[in-house]
Amino acid sequence: MTATPAAPVDLTALTVGQELARTRHEISRDTLVRYAGASGDFNPIHYNDAVATEAGLPGVIAHGMLTMGTAITGLLDALGDPTLVRGYTTRFTNPLPVPAIGSVTLEVVAVVGAIDEAAGTARVDLTAEVDDTKVLGRSRATIALPAPAATEGEGAA
């Protein structure tokens, strides 16, 4: 995986439209085998081309949860604290075909979509694409923002 930024982002100064992370993830059949072993998801569409094409797919595809989990890793790195994520949702819009030899590159960009100061949260929109085709749609994470610093005189009794 290649990613930016190297240091946690300053959550006290977020702006709508601000890019928080841009990552590239290489996914190969080896990645699928490892994920299947870890998750227990041995559906043959994730390793057998004949079964995948018979099911109407373009060939072997990555697991949806693998794609979703991989897509958020750049944001997690940018935050520096995964416990700041309060929610994460997505729609699977296109399968992520994985070639028999070599790999496919999942490119993900995480951008601040909205800030809710009253709730102390921000919505981060993730765009996940392979070869300019979106594989996840309406992919959003809600993150907690730091509590505002008390101004001088507040809280004094």
What are the tens digits of pLDDT across the range 61-109?
999 999 999 999 999 999 999 999 999 999 999 999 999 999 999 999 9
DSSP 17: T
pLDDT above 90: residue 5:
no
150, two tokens? 């008390």
- pLDDT confidence tier of residue 147, bands split at 50, 70 and 90: confident
CATH for 2-27+62-144 (3.30.1490.100, 3.40.50.2300, 3.10.129.10, 1.10.1200.10) = 3.10.129.10
Distance (Å, rounded) from C-alpha 51 to C-alpha 2?
32
State how far the alpha carbon of 127 is from the alpha carbons of 67, 75, 76, 90, 131, in Å.
Answer: 12, 12, 15, 10, 12
- Would you state the pLDDT for residue 6? 63
pLDDT above 80: residue 155:
no
Name the helix (H) or strand (E) containing 71. Answer: helix 64-79
DSSP percent split of the chain into helix, strand, coil, nearest 5:
25, 40, 35
What residue segments make up the domains of the chain, in order of their start? 2-27+62-144
- Average pLDDT (148-155) is 63
Tell me the residue type at 45: I
pLDDT above 60: residue 4:
no
Q: Backbone phi, then psi, for 78, in 5-degree steps? A: -65, -35
- Would you state the pLDDT for residue 59? 96
Place of tokens 């981060």: 124
Query: What's the pTM value of the predicted model, to 2 decimals?
Result: 0.89
Per DSSP, what are the bridge partners of residue 24?
2, 107
